[in-house]
Structure 1
Amino acid sequence: MVKVALVTGSNKGIGYAIVRGLCKQFDGDVILAARDGSRGLAAVSSLEKEGLHPKFHQLDITNQESIDQLKVFIAETYGGLDVLVNNAGMFVPPGDKESAEVAKTTIRVNYFGTLAVLQTMMPILNSGARVVNLAGGLASVVFRKSSPARKKVICDAASVHDVTDVMNNYVQSVKDGVLEQEGWPVDIPKMMSPAYCIGKMGINMLSPITQKMIDADTSRSDILINACCPGATSTDMYRGPGGKTIDEGADTPLYVALLPPNVPEPRGQHVFQRKILEWMKHGPSCK
């Protein structure tokens, strides 16, 4: 059976570069998934001009039916999934004050959309599969600036339900105007987009939890689920100085996606510049 890799949100930016890298290094088919069909097909066409041959499939990570359709396609065509890169996400440049709608939409896409893909695809992961969740070092800013009580809630999260409660609490706190009372930081620089940072923190929190879940399934083995930070990369989401090229930004995600068989770690961890990093202790930047 032919192996298969799936990269979500990959018609441009880091996702596009990850597809390019997988086409060159992964022994199997690579699915370039995007919400917009025309943009996805254009990206495939562009890579074909480089002599690469990704497949395209439409995927909206906020639509469960869309996710289910892709799962069925992969299961019927390939028998299972060997690499999953959860790259799709969104970033809304914040104004002077983050609105409740921006917070809700950002968390819905970056956390709940990623979670939906992860939970839907986990049952069809083959033994030896690699899962990469694109997160970010800026999540550490949220953690370090949170109150002791909020930090404890984050540290104590031991299930997907617990992480989801943390994300829902943030959205509700923005809506109700009680961020400080709930222990959330109120001094995150607006250029970072608080909701974006917090959604990525949720992804960091999910990875060790889902790793433990997959480890409990004795019918499969050697499946690794890790989060990683690509670093500040010049894309539509990042417009600051000193950004990496998209291929440089894809380096760590590709490293995690192509980890060799039976490596002891990283396993349910956060990786930055090809090294395991304790994101709760990390500094304010992933540059």
Structure 2
Amino acid sequence: MTKPRVAVISGANQGIGFAVVKELCKSFDGSVYLTSRDEHRGRTAVEELEKLGLQPKYHQLDIDDEASVLRLRDYLQATYGGLDVLVNNAGMLIVSKDEDSRELFAESARSVVQTNFFNTYRTCDILFPILRPHARVVNLSSSMGHLMQIEGQNEPAITLRARLSSTDLSYEELIHIMNHFLESVQRGDHPDYGWPKKNWVSYVASKIAVSAMTRRQQRDFNADPRPDIIANHVHPGYVKTKMASFKGVLTIEEGAAAASWLAMLPPNNVMNPKGSYVWHDKQIVDWVNGPTPSLY
């Protein structure tokens, strides 16, 4: 007997993740799991959707806690026999203040990169073995995750862009690049390597890493014996969320549109988007060279 299909969205008690759950509850043929770090907030979000006549399910998930990810994996394996859709939405942003010391700046950078890249990578590493044929993976990136954010024209910046965009990029090298970034932030010389001089450079670096990771994941899936597994990375737009201090121009539903579409790509014969960088209006964007359709 075939077990029901199942979709999991991380960091989904509010914002874009919440809106993705809302959309998939309407269009996905299977169980949709709203997950959150805080169980009370997650179950409150589920109740909000139930009032709309939707039927999401709930499971606790904190991507910063390896044991939490393992519990989710084991639950999905036991209950459904696998996983069909994974939307990696959980993430964080810390904008450093001008008065912050180098130590505080480096500490915040490490927190952002740890959650947004290292722990997202670990979540994928844990959950990918239970992906079923025709599974869809959506990694939330950002306009700040475009490779052109590394703007320098000196040799280290050119080399960094080439390494990140290489078809031979390994996970080990990507991890090395991100550790080197954190070391350079600690020293205060990260702009010498092409990283932008911005208070939110850690967010830029973490999302560039997520996008580079996604491209590598798709190359792996292309060689995977399980057919038709697709991973894409998406810029949701400048959305009115808590992370953006509610200053965005898009609603959470508009910000979730492209991610939801990618999660629902039909089985078989999808040539594009596949390992692609997708803008919030569903345009496929050249992640290496651009241009981007708009500022946001």
Q: Does the alignment reach a TM-score above 0.5? A: yes
Residue identity opposite 1:161 in structure 2: E
State the match for 1:13 in structure 2. 15
- Deviation, structure 1 residue 286: 4.8
1:283 is displaced (CA, Å) by 5.0
- Aligned equivalents of 2:115 and 2:54: distance in 1? 29
Say whether 1:228 aligns with 2:237: no
The C-alpha deviation readout for 1:44-90, integer Å capped at 9, x for no partner, is 01100001111111111011111011000001100110100000000
* AA aligned opposite 2:245: R
CA contact (8 A) 1:136 1:286 kept: no
Residue 175 of structure 1: CA displacement? 0.8
What residue in structure 2 maps to residue 83 of structure 1?
85
Q: State the match for 1:94 in structure 2.
A: 96
Give the AA of the match of 1:4.
Answer: V
Q: Which runs of 5 or more structure 1 residues have no equivalent in the other structure?
A: none
Q: Structure 2 counterpart of 1:274, which letter?
A: K
Q: What secondary structure is seen at the aligned counterpart in 2 of 1:211?
A: helix
**Superposed counterparts of 1:241-256, under 5 Å:** 241-256=247-262
Q: Does 1:159 align with 2:170?
A: yes
Gaps of 5+ in 2: none
Contact conserved, 2:87 with 2:137, CA < 8 A, in 1?
Answer: yes
Is 2:269 the counterpart of 1:258?
Answer: no
RMSD: 1.7
Q: TM-score, normalised by structure 2?
A: 0.91
What residue in structure 1 maps to residue 71 of structure 2? 69
Runs of 4+ in 1 over 6 A off after TM superposition: none
Could you tell me which residue of structure 2 aligns to residue 187 of structure 1?
197
Cross-structure match for 2:218: 211
Match status 1:278 vs 2:280: no
Matched residue SS, 1:21: helix
Equivalent-residue separation in structure 1 for 2:32 and 2:9 (angstroms): 8
In the alignment, which residue of structure 2 is the partner of 1:268? 275
- Between the aligned partners of 1:187 and 1:37, the Cα distance in structure 2 is 37
Contact 1:232–1:286 (Cα < 8 Å) also in 2: no
8 Å contact kept, 1:137–1:282: no
Normalized against structure 1, the TM-score is what?
0.93
Tell which deviates more after alignment, 169-178 or 247-256: 169-178
Q: C-alpha separation between the residues in 1 aligned to 2:202 and 2:12?
A: 22
- Give the alignment of 1:11-160 within 5 angstroms: 11-96=13-98, 99-140=105-146, 141-145=148-152, 147-156=157-166, 158-160=169-171
Q: Percent identity, aligned pairs only?
A: 37
Contact 1:8 1:85 in 2 (8 A): yes
